[in-house]
Amino acid sequence: MVESFARLRAAAWPLAIGVILGGAAVLFAGPGLFWALVALALAAMLIIHFVSFQEPILRAPEQTVDDPLSALPPMTRVLLDQLPIPVMLLDDDERVLFVNRSMRDVLGPGLDRKRASSVLRNPDVLAAIAQARQGLSNNVPFSLPVPIERHYQAYAARISVSPSVTALLLHDLTVVKRSEQLRADFIANASHELRTPLAAVSGFIETLRGHAKEDEAVRGQFLDIMGVEAARMRRLIDDLLSLSRIEMNEHVKPEGRIGVESTVHQAVAALKPLAAQDGITITVEAKPGVPPVIGDQDELVQLFQNLIHNAIKYGREKGKVQVVIGQSADRQVFAAIHDDGEGIAPNAIPRLTERFYRVDVKRSREKGGTGLGLAIVKHIINRHQGRLSIESRLGEGSVFTVLLPAAPPENPAKTAVPEPVTEML
* Contacts with ligand ADP, residue ranges (CB under 6 A): 306, 310-311, 313-314, 339, 341, 344, 352, 357-360, 364, 369-375, 398
Instruction: Report which of 171, 158, 153, 164 is spatially closest to residue 132, judged by C-alpha positions.
Output: 158
Closer of 139 and 398 to ligand ADP (Cβ): 398
Closer of 15 and 359 to ligand ADP (Cβ): 359
Q: How far is the CB of 243 from ligand ADP (least distance, A)?
A: 11
Distances (CA, A) of 315 to 130, 265, 268, 274, 394: 65, 19, 15, 12, 12
- Residues 213-228 as b/e (b if ≥16 CB within 10 A, e otherwise) read eeeeeeeeebeeebee
Q: How far is the CB of 299 from ligand ADP (least distance, A)?
A: 16
Q: How far is the CB of 417 from ligand ADP (least distance, A)?
A: 46
Closer of 155 and 334 to ligand ADP (Cβ): 334
Distance CA 421, CA 425 (A): 12
- Run of H or E including 53: none
Residue 94: count of CB within 10 angstroms of its CB: 17
Closer of 19 and 349 to ligand ADP (Cβ): 349
Distances (CA, A) of 198 to 40, 127, 225: 94, 50, 12
Closer of 158 and 378 to ligand ADP (Cβ): 378
Closer of 259 and 371 to ligand ADP (Cβ): 371
Q: How far is the CB of 315 from ligand ADP (least distance, A)?
A: 7
Q: How far is the CB of 264 from ligand ADP (least distance, A)?
A: 16
- Asked if residue 282 lies in contact with residue 271, where contact means CB atoms within 8 angstroms, the answer is yes
- DSSP character for 92? T
Q: How far is the CB of 393 from ligand ADP (least distance, A)?
A: 11
